[in-house]
Amino acid sequence: MNKREFIKAMSLESGLTLKETNKAYDAFLDVVSKTLKKNDKIQLAGFGTFEVKKRAARTGVNPKTGAKIQIKTSKTPAFRFGKAFKELL
């Protein structure tokens, strides 16, 4: 399912117009992005948790040359499904 199909399905399910649903979708993404940028997390009961995970510095290998390289510490967005959501599947 792509964005257009998702918004159409949400619109049908909620009874909102496509324009209203698209606006809600964009607002959701903005809130998630801004919250994660502040290193906060979002817990949605029954669904899951959006959070920022820290990846430790590590040694990697350049696949082209085989040389060892040092990879810096980084942050990455993550999502964990909630127990209730997992049980649905």
Predicted pLDDT of residue 75 = 95
**Alpha helices (runs of H) in 1-89, residue ranges in sequence order:** 3-14, 18-37, 83-88
Cβ-proximal residues to 25 (8 Å cutoff; 6+ apart), any chain: 3, 6, 7, 10
Predicted pLDDT of residue 88 = 87
**Residue numbers in the chain where pLDDT is lower than 50:** none
Predicted pLDDT of residue 89 = 83
- CATH of the domain spanning 3-88: 4.10.520.10
Q: Report which residue type is found at 82.
A: G
For residue range 72-88, list pLDDT tens digits in order: 999 999 999 999 989 98
Domain ranges of the chain: 3-88
